[in-house]
Amino acid sequence: MTSSPPLLTPPVAVIVGASSGIGAALARRLADEGYRLALLARRRQALEALAASLDAQHAHESRIYPHDVTDYEATPALFQRILADMGRIDVVVYSAGVLHPVAEDEYDFAKDRAMLEVNLVAAIAWLGQAAAYFQTQGEGHIVGISSVAGDRGRVKNPAYQAAKAGLTNYLESLRNRLTRHSVHVLTVKPGFVNTPMLQNAGGAGFWVIPPEQAAADVARAIRRKRQVIYTPARWRWLMLTIQHIPSFIFRRLSF
């Protein structure tokens, strides 16, 4: 009589910015795929509601960690606490973001600083922890939710676009550094997604998709170890065109 093979430990995904939007949708998607989840965001009640919903539908308990991503000093210890609680980490997703409405004649450093800190500096704080851990392990997945806004500097909201451009570049640098250690780094560039962040910024846009569609694209890209995706995919061709518009023409455009 042969013994049965040991049960595999379910993979663990850490989602930073899990309380709403793409982060919450991705939590549901990964839970459906059998992941155990560590969910982080500022709003405890939103995290508790999400975890309760997931736990009612899946066998694996989701753990919540209320956290302000701009509390940079707390990040290393919290990463280690999550690792100790979960026993392992296989995927780290940075989905936290903020988009303040900014008029074309407005230069508000407080808004700009908040967008730079949440969208870029805090992402580096968290993904740097993930990179160090995965490099040591020789495996793992890093996922950063960037934006089509980072592909070129447009008239609207310079600081937000700068933050996303910086995140895209940072993720590429991580990819080039970590690929030799068998670590997968995925850059996600959504267009307009129907999230609270978009609504807070005025709700304008075209090709608007639900967060569940973006989450499905991200989960598929993790499985296939894609490097860069646009969601929806047609944004790739639009942004390729925009990137090649001569500067003297591009600066006259209003979008």
Pairing of strands 228-231, 63-66: unpaired
Residue 94 annotated among the catalytic residues of the structure: no
Q: Compute the residue count for the chain.
A: 255
Determine which one of 133, 160, 170, 230 is catalytic.
160
Which residues touch 201 (CB under 8 Å, ≥6 apart)?
Answer: 99, 100, 101
What is the sign of the dihedral through the CA atoms of 133, 134, 137 and 141? positive
Is residue 79 within 8 A of residue 71, CB to CB? The reply is no
Q: At what angle do helices 158-178 and 122-137 cross, to 10 degrees?
A: 10
> What does the H/E/C string look like for 52-72?
HHHHHHCCCCCEEEECCCCCH
What residues are annotated to the active site? 160
